[in-house]
């Protein structure tokens, strides 16, 4: 089963953790000095926030899958649609280890499709440089 992923850049992590914990009625499952994540079942979403010197707002959206096979299907769909993707194997980002396929939608919004298979001790820095037009975007995360 797939899970929607939303990553939001915030200015005040502690205040934002309080806000989203109240909104979701649940505490985050991961809290670090620069990052927090909720794995919610209602709605089914992997919701993450970070304070990593980015402009506040939606950093990227994504779809988290449960297997490498599901990731391959999503990645193949994106490629078949003619979109430029950037695949990553064993990326370290957001305190997790994941295989990923990044793509930008026609308006430039970054999407991350990924399969997480382990934890990491550091935030990490994967660079999803995907250039659907003349412009490349880069950022970390997901997951």
> Would you list the domain boundaries of the chain?
3-119
Q: For each of the chain's 143 residues, which pLDDT tens digit applies?
A: 899 999 999 999 999 999 999 999 999 999 999 999 999 999 999 999 999 877 899 989 999 999 999 999 988 888 887 778 888 887 877 777 889 888 888 778 888 888 989 887 877 775 555 443 333 333 444 34
CA 45 to CA 76: how far, in whole Å?
23
DSSP 3-state of 128: coil
CATH code of the region 3-119:
3.10.180.10
**Residue-level pLDDT at 112:** 87
DSSP bridge partners of 3: 64
What are the tokens at 9?
Answer: 């850049």
Question: How many residues does the structure list for the chain?
Answer: 143
The phi and psi torsions of 119 (rounded to 5 degrees) equal -100, 160
Other CB atoms within 10 A of residue 74 CB: 19
CA 24 to CA 43: how far, in whole Å?
9
């Amino acid at each position: 089963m797939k899970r929607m992923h939303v990553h939001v850049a915030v200015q005040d992590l502690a205040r934002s953790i309080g806000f989203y914990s109240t909104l979701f009625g649940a505490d985050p499952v991961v809290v670090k000095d620069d990052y927090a994540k909720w794995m919610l079942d209602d709605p089914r979403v992997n919701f993450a926030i970070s304070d990593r010197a980015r402009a506040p707002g939606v950093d990227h959206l994504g779809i988290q899958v449960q297997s490498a096979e599901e990731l391959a299907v999503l990645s193949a769909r994106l490629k078949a649609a003619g979109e430029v993707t950037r695949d990553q194997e064993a990326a370290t980002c957001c305190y997790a280890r994941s295989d990923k396929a990044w793509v930008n939608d026609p308006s430039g919004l970054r999407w991350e499709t990924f399969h997480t298979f382990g934890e990491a001790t550091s935030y990490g820095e994967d660079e999803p440089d995907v250039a659907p037009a003349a412009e490349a975007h880069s950022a970390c995360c997901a997951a």
